[in-house]
Amino acid sequence: MTEPSAAVLIKHELDDEDKAYINEIFLDEVVAKLQKMDARIGTLNCNFAGDQYRNWNILFRSKGPGFEIVDFEYDEDSDGIDLDL
Tens digits of residue pLDDT in 19-53: 999 999 999 999 999 999 999 999 999 999 999 99
Kindly indicate the confidence band of residue 8, based on its pLDDT and cuts at 50, 70 and 90: very low
pTM of the model: 0.83
Burial class (CB within 10 angstroms; exposed 0-12, middle 13-18, buried 19+) of 68: middle
Q: In this predicted structure, what is the pLDDT of residue 12?
A: 76
For the chain, the residue count is: 85
Question: Cα–Cα distances in Å, from 55 out to 6, 8, 38, 63, 64?
Answer: 14, 10, 25, 25, 29
User: Could you give the 3-state DSSP secondary structure of residue 82?
Assistant: coil
Instruction: Please report, for the chain, the start and end positions of each structural domain, with discontinuous segments joined by +.
Output: 6-74
Contacts of 65 (CB under 8 A, 6+ apart): none
Q: In this predicted structure, what is the pLDDT of residue 6?
A: 52
User: Could you give the 3-state DSSP secondary structure of residue 74?
Assistant: strand
